[in-house]
Amino acid sequence: MQAIPQKVKNVNVYPYVEWHGGGVGPVILPVVEKATGTFAVGTLIKSVFYNLDLNTLSEKPKLGVHQRYIATGEYEDGTPFTTPWMYCTNAGTQPEFGRTITLGKPESETINAETLPPYITLGALTDITVSQLFPAPAIGQRVLIENGSGNVIATRTGTPHEMGSEVNTGNRLGKLTAGAKNIIITGKNKEGQTVTLGNLTCLSPNEPALFLHQFGYSN
């Protein structure tokens, strides 16, 4: 089913925080309040994708690209809605959020680099370190790339589908192979904040090296 954007109003956007109960829950304040825009939900084979695009805000909100958010609001007829958590893909005065959920995606399914769909860059990273966790029961990790630069990326099927990173430069300390799993990437965004991407698979060991993590229904 093709996603048809529907006009929405009174939209509040909140940082997404996982909470499993017990004790006093966290107080989450909205980072966007009473906004208007469009919300779309569509399906493609076994994928469900979500898009929330907000109209121009009076000032730039405190959002972070590739950070998780949820939103509540109303359709034009007053019917309330709540989104699943979504990634922020535009943190400017016209914020955009998106996510694609693949239903019943087997964990063991191999991602084929030759069929990788086009991807977009969500933000630059510097001081990148790429490591691979040792398989259980061993404890520890080995460094594959250090002092790298690149970008946080997302493939698109209407909304970000697979999140990951492309690493364009860096000192290679270990051998990279396509299909390598349990990859962790850390780096700094343009604000100097540390970004960590985990549970990645190497799609291409070339330059740029590509790493992705595909989210299933339970994420």
Predicted pLDDT at 55? 93
> Residues 149, 86, 95, 89: what is their CA dihedral angle, to the nearest 10 degrees?
20
Apex 166 CA angle, 142 and 98, nearest 5: 115
Per-residue model confidence (pLDDT) at position 151: 93
pLDDT at 117: 53
Q: Where are the beta strands (DSSP E) in the chain?
A: 6-15, 32-44, 47-54, 68-75, 80-82, 86-90, 96-102, 119-133, 141-156, 160-172, 183-188, 194-204, 209-214
SS3 assignment, position 119: strand
What pLDDT does residue 12 have? 95
What was the pLDDT predicted at 155? 74
Q: Specify whether the CB–CB gap between 165 and 125 falls below 8 A.
A: yes
What does the pLDDT read at residue 167? 94
For residue 99, the one-letter residue type is R
Count of CB atoms situated within 10 Å of the CB of 203: 23
For the chain (length 219 residues), average pLDDT per consecutive 10? Answer: 82 81 63 94 74 90 84 93 86 86 50 54 91 74 91 68 85 84 88 84 85 56
Helix, coil or strand: residue 114: helix
Q: Would you state the pLDDT for residue 44?
A: 66
Distance CA 115, CA 166 (A): 16
Q: In this predicted structure, what is the pLDDT of residue 31?
A: 92
